């Protein structure tokens, strides 16, 4: 039996001419280390080149985690705090990750020439199949923030069979109305592009507090060498189409979805409305206390635990250990009335600001978690 196994391995991974088993093993180890450190690729699409970075190696019968960042950020400034968090390591050991940078947002990206037509958010979504084809990945779990959440939602609507689940932070599924456009134009007369983008990313309370985090991201955006590119991405976001989601209708997200927003965040109302348009048996709504406009930056521990429960609900990581957050939680389960006429009744898990968890909800209910 041992001889048969050795033959099978040799046939699957033949040695190169003149290559010894020791050299082959060292090459494989070097390749694995390189993957763990991240490999950056670019692929041509019908709408231009797109850059993405891959961490880890594909796991059999498991989807990849694919992320898409918000305006003013790239994959590092948007997701590094989350994926480098200690408790997240158990998750990333079980999934290969693909971090997508919107065109012109990657580090060192050249400024697009004057008159360049930046892709619409719909076209950015249409770039994703080229990435998956290049990597030979069949399914993904999407994690998107703001504009990135919209891009992944649009992609899921057109390619539902390739998306096993979505984590959407600060999703706004609606096109800008006339009042929004008027307010946007008026703000543009008195505010710079960086200040407008900061107002999109963070709450007014956070901006007024001018914490170290706000100072850091204000510096990142204000002094970005590709600020002209960022403005183009910002314009595409403000020109987005309505996703036209409808609960029980033909246009809806059919995979499990976790909606995330911080309390008092700029997009809280939009996320609540999105929740009302999705299937309550497939949707979890996580409203995070003390997290501001960017929960993945300010509360990576709570979001990590919620993500872990979300994956467990999809049938992955069933034997995962509980984190210290869930072990220390104090919770009381209460019933919550509908927030508006369009929202169905939900069950609310109220928790202390030091802890958080996202348990599996009963059929027919959306779980709304305040943590």
Of 109, 141, 127, 131, give the one whose Cα is nearest residue 255. Answer: 141
The answer to the question of residue 297 being in a domain is: yes
* Dist. CA 104–CA 226, nearest whole Å: 7
Least confident of 174-183, 248-257, 322-331: 322-331
In a domain, 23, yes or no: no
CATH of the domain at 176: 3.40.50.1820
pLDDT digits (tens, 9 = 90+) for 304-320: 999 999 999 999 987 66
| The pLDDT value given to residue 356 | 41
118 lies in some domain: yes
Among residues of the chain, what percentage have pLDDT more than 90?
67
What is the model's pTM? 0.80
Where are the alpha helices (H) located in 169-278, listed in sequence order?
Answer: 178-190, 193-201, 204-209, 212-222, 227-238, 268-276
Instruction: Give the separation between CA 163 and CA 143, rounded to whole angstroms.
Output: 11
**pLDDT value of residue 38:** 83
The overall average pLDDT reported for the chain is 81
pLDDT at 344 over 90: no
% of the chain exceeding 70 in pLDDT:
72
Mean per-residue pLDDT, 218-235 = 96
Q: What mean pLDDT comes out for the span 216-239?
A: 96
| 6 occurs within a structural domain | no
Positive or negative: CA dihedral 195, 181, 246, 346: positive
Q: Is the pLDDT of residue 35 over 50?
A: no
Residue 340 lies in a domain: no
Q: Report the range of poorest mean pLDDT among 153-162, 216-225, 275-284, 347-356.
A: 347-356
Sheet (strand 257-262) strand order: 39-45, 48-55, 97-101, 64-68, 140-145, 163-169, 257-262, 283-288, 367-370, 346-351, 331-336
Residue 324 counted as domain residue: no
Report the number of distinct structural domains present in the chain: 1
Range of the domain at 137: 31-313
| 334 located within any domain | no
328 within a domain of the structure (yes/no): no
């Amino acid at each position: 039996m041992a001889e048969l196994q050795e033959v099978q391995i040799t046939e699957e991974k033949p040695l190169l001419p003149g290559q010894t088993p020791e050299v082959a093993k060292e090459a494989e180890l070097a390749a694995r280390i390189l993957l763990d450190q991240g490999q950056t690729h670019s692929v041509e699409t019908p709408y231009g080149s797109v850059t993405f970075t891959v961490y880890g190696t594909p796991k059999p019968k498991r989807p990849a985690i694919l992320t898409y960042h918000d305006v003013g950020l790239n994959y590092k400034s948007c997701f590094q705090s989350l994926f480098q968090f200690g408790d997240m390591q158990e998750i990333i050991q079980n999934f290969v990750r693909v971090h997508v940078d919107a065109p012109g947002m990657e580090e060192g990206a050249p400024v697009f020439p004057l008159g360049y037509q930046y892709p619409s958010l719909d076209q950015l979504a249409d770039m994703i199949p080229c990435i998956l084809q290049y990597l030979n990945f069949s399914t993904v779990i999407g994690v998107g923030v703001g504009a990135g959440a919209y891009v992944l939602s649009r992609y899921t609507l057109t390619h539902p069979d390739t998306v096993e689940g979505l984590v959407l932070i600060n999703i706004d599924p609606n096109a800008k109305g006339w009042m929004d456009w008027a307010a946007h134009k008026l703000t543009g007369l008195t505010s710079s592009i960086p200040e407008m983008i900061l107002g999109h990313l963070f709450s007014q309370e956070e901006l007024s507090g001018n914490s170290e985090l706000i100072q850091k991201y204000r510096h990142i955006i204000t002094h970005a060498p590709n600020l002209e590119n960022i403005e183009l991405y910002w314009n595409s976001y403000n020109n987005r189409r309505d996703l036209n989601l409808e609960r029980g209708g033909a246009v809806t997200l059919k995979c499990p979805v976790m909606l995330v927003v911080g309390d008092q965040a700029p997009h809280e109302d939009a996320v609540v409305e999105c929740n009302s348009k999705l299937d309550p048996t497939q949707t979890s709504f996580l409203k995070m206390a003390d997290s501001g406009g960017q929960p993945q930056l300010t509360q990576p521990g709570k979001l990590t635990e919620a993500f872990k429960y979300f994956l467990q609900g999809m049938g992955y990581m069933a034997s995962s250990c509980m984190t210290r957050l869930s072990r220390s939680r104090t919770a009381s389960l209460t019933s919550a009335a509908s927030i508006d006429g369009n929202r169905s009744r939900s069950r609310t898990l109220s928790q202390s600001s030091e802890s958080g968890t996202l348990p599996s909800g009963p059929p027919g209910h959306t779980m709304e978690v305040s943590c």
